């Protein structure tokens, strides 16, 4: 299925910023579809096939409650980007690599600092240049951290703590990462030699596409109490890192899509789109993929940890102070391409352990949830939403509505509204780096094409996207961060 053409099926208003696709739309739907969007965003969303992918996901065996999509929804591989689905393993529920994504545990982490913008303003250009020089960015780039196979096996088993024990971080970095920077049940033995080879020298590299490291400034605080708990205040310099499992995770997804190709026939179900290839969670194929996916997720947490270490080194070198004295602590690290087992209400007050697929969607647990750090128990889990490099990013806090409406999930970004090809065409004859410089944002990338693909016009308005999840009560706005420097692959 391509992404061309718009969605012509039904969409019924179903509450504040909620649009239902009824089960009656297609005979093969097992649950309804539900898209979170306001009136303006839903008009943009209907322009591609993302809503039809929400319908396709609603046909998966064992799916519970509804097939969901966040306001940053757009067409993706199998699942839409922004898609959320929970399946019940005890009812033949499936696991789908397309519901996790090629870049397993792509995610973001936010570092705060005790630096004010006035301290850094005159030195931001050499700071960004040094970040771009020292941190490997772009497709296929090798990093300075090279692991042999026995080390990679331990890394994939242990997650972020593996590189922290080597001196590349602190125990606090582990504590303030989703799941402690490690998924239990990782099985590196289920990761192919090809995937391991691809990952040997890519841990601690940024990658290409929409991956980035940004120097940002807190330009607005909307919830002073929550911001204080997170250590954020207006005028403060922060660093946002967006990267995932690199070639290793991509290869794991590719490997298991081939394994899953014949699973529907084997287990007696059909799919409307072969890109939804899946297998029952409890099947041998499903268990093998889960073991490999968790191993790749742990690799991704190590990748972001090593990127953090390198960013701290650069700040220390350029500003002439140890990173600890600069206060460069981790606020939080959260995944947005992952499948995890969690207990949720699946309707009618029934609670079950389900397999929650989050494809371009971010966990948003509310205050009091046992899986968030003690420091955030009263305000909720930090939810980090990057926008485009020319606009802003947001920090939110998970709210009780996420457990009611969305299996504890929020949006993950602004969401594309233009293909990469169209964005490059729009940028013809322009210099996106110079346009950004003119508005006070220093951008460095391997080539002009990467900046063209990621230009602000290619994305929805992140402020509108964040408004939706705030209004629904999924996550509430805490602080807005504007970029002043960005490096991209």
Q: Residues at the annotated binding site for GMP?
A: 210-214, 336-337, 386-389, 393, 412-415, 488
Strands 475-488 and 442-445: parallel
Q: How far apart are the first and last CA of the chain?
A: 28
| Residue stretches of the annotated binding site | 103, 210-214, 242, 336-337, 386-389, 393, 412-415, 488
R_g of the chain computed on alpha carbons: 21
**219, 477 Cβ separation under 8 angstroms:** no
Residue pair 196/249 in contact (Cβ under 8 Å)? The answer is no
Of the candidates 418, 381, 411, the residue with the CA atom closest to the CA atom of residue 399: 381
Query: How distant, in Å, are the alpha carbons of 94, 95, 178, 398, 407 from that of 339?
Result: 11, 8, 13, 18, 12
Burial class (CB in 10 A: 0-12, 13-18, 19+), 148: exposed
For 153, the token pair is 């096996």
Supply the angle between the helices 149-158 and 284-319 in degrees, to the nearest 10. Answer: 100
Instruction: Report the catalytic residues.
Output: 412
Which token pair is 144?
A: 């300075």
482 to each of 15, 60, 115, 218, how far by Cα in Å? Answer: 31, 40, 15, 6
Residue numbering of the annotated binding site for Mn(2+): 103, 211, 242, 336
Beta strands in 40-129 (DSSP E): 66-74, 81-87, 94-95, 107-111
Angle, vertex CA 209, rays to CA 384 and CA 361, nearest 5: 35
Number of H helices, E strands in the chain: 17, 19
């Amino acid at each position: 299925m391509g992404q061309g053409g718009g969605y012509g099926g039904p969409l019924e208003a179903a509450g504040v910023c909620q649009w239902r696709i009824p089960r009656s739309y297609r005979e093969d739907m097992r649950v309804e579809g539900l898209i979170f969007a306001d009136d303006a965003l839903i008009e943009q969303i209907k322009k591609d096939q993302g809503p039809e992918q929400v319908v396709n996901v609603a046909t998966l065996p064992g799916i519970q409650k509804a097939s969901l999509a966040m306001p940053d929804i757009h067409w993706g591989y199998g699942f839409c980007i922004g898609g959320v689905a929970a399946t019940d393993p005890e009812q033949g529920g499936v696991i789908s690599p397309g519901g996790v994504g090629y870049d397993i545990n792509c995610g973001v982490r936010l570092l705060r600092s005790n630096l004010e913008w006035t301290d850094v303003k005159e030195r931001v250009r050499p700071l960004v240049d040094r970040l771009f020089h020292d941190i490997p960015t772009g497709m296929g780039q090798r990093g300075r951290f090279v692991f042999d196979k026995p080390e990679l096996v331990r890394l994939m088993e242990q997650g972020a703590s593996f590189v922290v024990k080597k001196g590349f971080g602190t125990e606090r970095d582990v504590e303030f990462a989703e799941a402690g920077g490690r998924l239990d049940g990782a099985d590196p033995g289920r990761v192919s030699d090809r995937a391991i080879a691809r990952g040997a020298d890519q841990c601690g590299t940024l990658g290409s596409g929409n991956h980035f490291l940004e120097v940002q400034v807190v330009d607005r605080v909307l919830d002073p109490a929550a911001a204080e708990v997170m250590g954020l205040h207006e005028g403060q310099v922060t660093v946002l890192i967006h990267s995932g499992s690199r070639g290793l995770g991509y290869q794991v997804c590719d490997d298991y899509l081939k394994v899953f190709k014949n699973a529907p026939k084997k287990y007696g179900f059909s799919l409307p789109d072969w890109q939804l290839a899946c297998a029952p969670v409890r099947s041998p194929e499903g268990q093998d993929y889960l073991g490999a996916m968790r191993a790749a997720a742990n690799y991704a947490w190590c990748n972001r940890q090593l990127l953090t270490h390198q960013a701290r080194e650069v700040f220390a070198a350029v500003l002439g102070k140890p990173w600890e004295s600069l206060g460069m602590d981790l606020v939080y690290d959260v995944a947005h391409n992952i499948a995890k087992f969690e207990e949720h209400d699946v309707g009618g007050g029934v609670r079950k352990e389900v397999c929650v697929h989050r494809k371009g969607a971010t966990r948003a647990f509310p205050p009091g949830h046992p899986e968030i750090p003690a420091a955030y128990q009263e305000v909720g889990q930090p939810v980090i939403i990057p926008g485009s490099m020319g606009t802003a990013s947001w920090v939110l806090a998970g709210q009780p509505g996420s457990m009611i409406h969305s299996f504890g999930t929020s949006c993950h970004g602004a969401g594309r509204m233009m293909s990469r090809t169209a964005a490059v065409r729009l940028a013809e004859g322009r210099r996106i780096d110079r346009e950004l410089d003119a508005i006070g944002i220093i951008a460095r990338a391997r080539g002009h094409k990467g900046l063209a693909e990621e230009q602000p016009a290619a994305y929805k308005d992140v402020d509108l996207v964040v408004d939706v999840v705030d209004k629904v009560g999924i996550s509430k706005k805490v602080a807005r961060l504007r970029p002043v420097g960005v490096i991209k692959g």
